[in-house]
Structure 1
Amino acid sequence: MLLPFDEFDIILGMVWLTLHDVIVNCKRKTIDLKGQNGEIVRIESNDLNGLLAVISVLKAQRYVKKGYEAYFAYVIDSKVSEKKIESVPVVCEFSDVFPEELPRLPPIREVEFGIDMLPELKLQLQELTDRGFARPSFSLWGAPVLFVKKKNGTMRMCIDYHQLNKVTVKNKYPLPSIDDLFDQLKGAIVFSKIDLRSGYYQLRVKDSNILKTTFRTRYEHYEFLVMPFELKNAPTVFMDLMNQIFRPYLDSFVVVFIDDFLIYSRNETEHAEHLRIMLQTLREKQLYAKFSKCEFWLREVSFLGHIVSASRIRVDPSKISAILEWKPPKNVSKICSFLGLAGYYHWFVKGLSMIVTLLIGLLQKDVRFKWSDKCQNSFDRLKTLLTEALVLVQPESGKEFVIYSDASLNGLGCVLMQEGKVIAYASGQLKPHEKNYPTHDLELATIVFALKIWRHYLFGERCHKDLNLRQRRWLELLKDYELKIDYHPGKANVIVDALSRKSLFALRVLNAQLDLSDNSSMIAELNARPLFLQQISDAQKVDNEISVKRTQCNSNLDSEFIVDDNNCLRFRDRICVSRNSELI
């Protein structure tokens, strides 16, 4: 953006201002210059009445509502050049895959979009038709049309199929889990992202269902030959088609989520081959991508709200702005929306379940909606944690996993780590019957909770003796893992302390270390060894008074003191505890 000089004779740049240590006071319109002899020279404006006043956003909104004239200014970088297909390796060979517009009606594919009506509706319609009370008609009625603004400023025509969706049988085809998709990226260092051009419009509607897509405009009625965006089963049907087309490459070098594709490789040579296979498949299936929304040959890529690199995953900063601007919920629906967004990033937030306890309580039936100060504190805390989300590392197979777990009457919390780096966080609230568990059962329940969540990382066999019925039932799950369980004192487990506990409900902590190996045979055992006596013995060794008694005991000078098999000093069968020990 070029600015005319007008009455200005010269514009001083940052280099000159830095050289002379210039202090600019915009409020008072003064400039302080430092001379060669260190003397400060002040230049003041004669026009102090025209100073601009800074007002708050709320005040500005009130002025606008009253009819005050307002202007919105923004800066556009005019030097940004559009990327060209010809400049991208491998991609330049497939220019026909990236048309400016979809060239024609899509071909007949192995999957077609259909709208199956609820059985009761079909029966009644058939009955009316058989009795001559109704017949198919090209009615002048149809679903209404509205327009929604897209990110690039253009408008998208949307059809309100709300009533049609109500009587449509839901397609149960599963959409992939975001967490499972990211697990595939272990070891990849080169990425490319492809986004289809109007992906849904590249799938035909079954001929028998075309009439159901009718929509009305002010001019005429129309019906879709391709799949509209707003229909109930559109995402699952399209996902089914993509999985059928790219099934040979899934879990190998391609991640597919509806119409978004992520190609990942361990080196550039592999990536060139993978990218060529992907684009050739798109060409053969007559699927077209939008080049301006695609990215190639990246070391770090934004995908599904996350920033993915060679060994790390973090939250996409551009998605956090929506969280910062989120206003306190006014009803149950708004709480559900916020918790849904927070749950999408649950791997990144320590103790998420405990933080949202009050908010979830407002979702229960027969509970009056009341937004209290405690709810606001939980809301603000969760927003802060989401905006300060930690960076997680990608797990590596063959290396030891460590689960730090913590249990309290407030909930369960655990952290999955590898080589001292966090892979994921998990937390959960206690069910009513779980709050009655004794301490040992609650500790074991935490491990069971962690193993169920991260089962795809962990596997093994082991045994245990003297278990109650509940513990025996849980043992059936634990037998799948090569597991060693050690007790840790509560103060030593500071990593997950914030996940589930308060000092009032301090409990012992379990450290589950899992060793995964490629050996076909696995020998495993479950060892539970209390550290309490060992801690007392260690504390005795550094206590001067007790050390004297131990020496006397060894010299047989005082027969009332003995050292037992656990190397603990006893007085008349009672264990001696150091005065300075934290165990008191």
Structure 2
Amino acid sequence: MVTPIIIGTDVLNRDGVIYVRTKDRQYLSRTEHTTPINIVSRLDQIDVNTPLLGKERDALLGVIDDFCEHLITGTAQTTVTTGEMEMKLTSTTPVVYRPYKLSYQEKLKVREITRDLLDKGIIRRSNSEYASPIILVKKHDGSDRLCVDFRALNRVTVKDRYPLPLIEDQIDRLGTYTYFTSLDMASRFHQIRIKEDCIHLTGFVTPEDHFEYLKMPYGLANSPIVYQRIINDTLRMHINEGNTMVYVDDVLLLSDSIEEGIRLLRRVLETLTNADFSINIKKCSFLVTEVEYLGRVIKKGQVRPSPRKIEALVNTSPPENVKQVRQPLGLAGYFRRYVKDYASKTAPIAHLTRKGSEFMWTPEHELIRQNLIKYLTSEPLLTIFDHNLPIKLHTDASSIGYGAVLLQVHPDSRKHAVAYFSKVTQGAESKYHSYELETLAVVKAVQNFRHYLVGLEFTIVTDCNALKATERKKDLLPRVARWWIYYQDFHFTIE
């Protein structure tokens, strides 16, 4: 009879036993004796998120099992080998703060969290001259997270200028791939070690003790940038192939077939595990046809807002002051490319945020807010840009604002929106002649969609007949002439 047992690391350490794991065996070892123990397949204990069945599922699980040491369900025990965090400051004066006051219950919780971080090798006790304070923040599940207030340290930190990817660029790269695999890096920043001579800079104080980080903490200004650099360097070959996308700790693999996706997964996992990255398998999705990525839901050639992002907008209450106005406006602005004439539709609300404006939330403002919610909850759908399809840029303008929609003509002859653009007229713009406004709308739209249009032929569609004749006019208004010069780098026709 086989009886499963759980042995704590404290017991093993007390008796001088060390735990050794290789790819296919596990050992409980003392210096004078080594005893092999059997591995229970991790796949029996983990719900792998995939729609695959039969032989395809077996092939996927085979890959997962080959890398099971780094596909985990808890805290990462590994430290990435392809990079570390180095910190440079503009001042030699130590950052020193007294601990923030905490209640008795909060002190107990801090004691528990720091003990766990010590056990995991993420922090150690410190004698550093640096001492940033800590606070407790509630997670979504109601549990507490210890956060260090690094604001003062961040102010004297030399910023790393390595770029984070532009979210819209990432979305545009998704193309018409059919299958997606999303990988979630376990413990995120805590897999990256801090350079030894920089560790003391991360010193922080609780009401009872003084610690410093051995692994990269959350809250440092450069943490996301350093992580992006290291994971980009690790996955450079796959990223350059165009089928792997990385945004900080979100890795997305793209494929046109299941077989191709499984091969790509094996190669990427091999690269990541060779660098000792660990992956949280509970938050991964394998070979799915619809995936949430960077606040969007992606499906072959299509993109729509994430329901979770929209829910945040739906759950807002009518604002009672200017600060509260910015919240729903900011949430809706996150998806402004999904909303036709967004700027002019939200202009009355945006006006409330201007300096010197009197706050008064009227039925008109509430109607605008509700209409935004209604539109976004109707799951507006955009298509992902395809360089091989015909391009049409529709523009329109009025004294209130101007806007455009970038469309592509698909093989079924239907036009599908790629993105919307809009802007409220500013200052003297509202007094322009309609011909000037229409020209301005085209200029701003071409500027906004430049990354799509440069080097490609496209058609500008406008109902302004005067604009159509502009190409042949010699006596252009100076302002219009300056705008028209901008067009010279583009290849288009007007209809």
TM-score band by shorter chain is 0.7 to 0.9
Q: Is the 8 A contact 2:78 2:278 kept in 1?
A: no
Q: Which moved more, 1:299-308 or 1:356-365?
A: 356-365
Q: Which moved more, 1:376-385 or 1:449-458?
A: 376-385
221, 224, 233: which one aligns with 2:222: 233
396, 402, 419: which one aligns with 1:406: 396
Deviation at 1:266, TM superposition (A): 1.9
Higher relative contact order (CA 8 A, sep 6+): 2
Q: Is the 8 A contact 2:79 2:276 kept in 1?
A: yes
Would you tell me which structure has more strand in proportion to its own residues? 2
1 CA distance for matches of 2:479 and 2:183? 50
| 2:169 match | 180
Residues 475 and 249 of structure 1: CA distance in aligned 2, closer, same or farther (over 3 Å): farther
Deviation at 1:353, TM superposition (A): 0.8
Q: Is the 8 A contact 2:406 2:419 kept in 1?
A: yes
Residues 100 and 394 of structure 1: CA distance in aligned 2, closer, same or farther (over 3 Å): closer
Q: Is the 8 A contact 1:144 1:217 kept in 2?
A: yes
445, 448, 452: which one aligns with 1:457: 452
466, 482, 486: which one aligns with 1:477: 486
Q: Is the 8 A contact 1:356 1:378 kept in 2?
A: yes
- What are the residue-to-residue correspondences of 1:370-389 with 2, within 5 Å? 370-389=360-379
2 CA distance for matches of 1:288 and 1:334? 40
- What are the residue-to-residue correspondences of 1:242-281 with 2, within 5 Å? 242-250=231-239, 252-281=242-271
Secondary structure of 1:223 counterpart: strand
Q: Is the 8 A contact 1:348 1:389 kept in 2?
A: no
| 2:431 match | 436
What stretches of structure 1 move > 6 A for 4+ residues in a row?
Answer: none
Deviation at 1:210, TM superposition (A): 1.7
Letter in 2 for 1:323: L
Aligned-pair RMSD on alpha carbons? 2.7
Q: Is the 8 A contact 1:147 1:156 kept in 2?
A: yes
State the Cα deviation string for residues 105-140 of structure 1 (Å, max 9, x = none).
Answer: 6255334242x33x4x44x679xxxxxxxxx97459
Secondary structure of 1:405 counterpart: strand
Residues 401 and 298 of structure 1: CA distance in aligned 2, closer, same or farther (over 3 Å): same
Letter in 1 for 2:433: P
TM-score by length of 1: 0.62
2 CA distance for matches of 1:414 and 1:140? 53
State the Cα deviation string for residues 529-550 of structure 1 (Å, max 9, x = none).
Answer: xxxxxxxxxxxxxxxxxxxxxx
Q: Which moved more, 1:252-261 or 1:341-350?
A: 341-350
2 CA distance for matches of 1:417 and 1:106? 46
| 1:299 match | 289
Deviation at 1:407, TM superposition (A): 0.4
- What are the residue-to-residue correspondences of 1:137-286 with 2, within 5 Å? 138=128, 141-151=131-141, 154-250=143-239, 252-286=242-276
Q: Is the 8 A contact 2:130 2:203 kept in 1?
A: no
State the Cα deviation string for residues 280-339 of structure 1 (Å, max 9, x = none).
Answer: 111111111100000001111111221111121112223322211111223333333322
Q: Is the 8 A contact 2:383 2:418 kept in 1?
A: yes
TM-score by length of 2: 0.73
Q: Is the 8 A contact 2:397 2:437 kept in 1?
A: yes
Secondary structure of 1:143 counterpart: strand
State the Cα deviation string for residues 119-175 of structure 1 (Å, max 9, x = none).
Answer: 4x44x679xxxxxxxxx9745954124142244x65433222233334434443332
Residues 375 and 168 of structure 1: CA distance in aligned 2, closer, same or farther (over 3 Å): farther
47, 52, 59: which one aligns with 1:83: 47
Deviation at 1:440, TM superposition (A): 1.8
The structure that has the greater radius of gyration is 1
Deviation at 1:275, TM superposition (A): 1.3
Q: Which moved more, 1:375-384 or 1:96-105?
A: 96-105
Deviation at 1:276, TM superposition (A): 1.6
Unaligned runs of 5+ in 2: 1-44, 50-56, 96-125, 410-414, 459-470
Percent of aligned positions that are identical: 30
Secondary structure of 2:213 counterpart: coil
Count of residues in Structure 1 that have an aligned counterpart in Structure 2: 392
Residues 201 and 125 of structure 1: CA distance in aligned 2, closer, same or farther (over 3 Å): closer
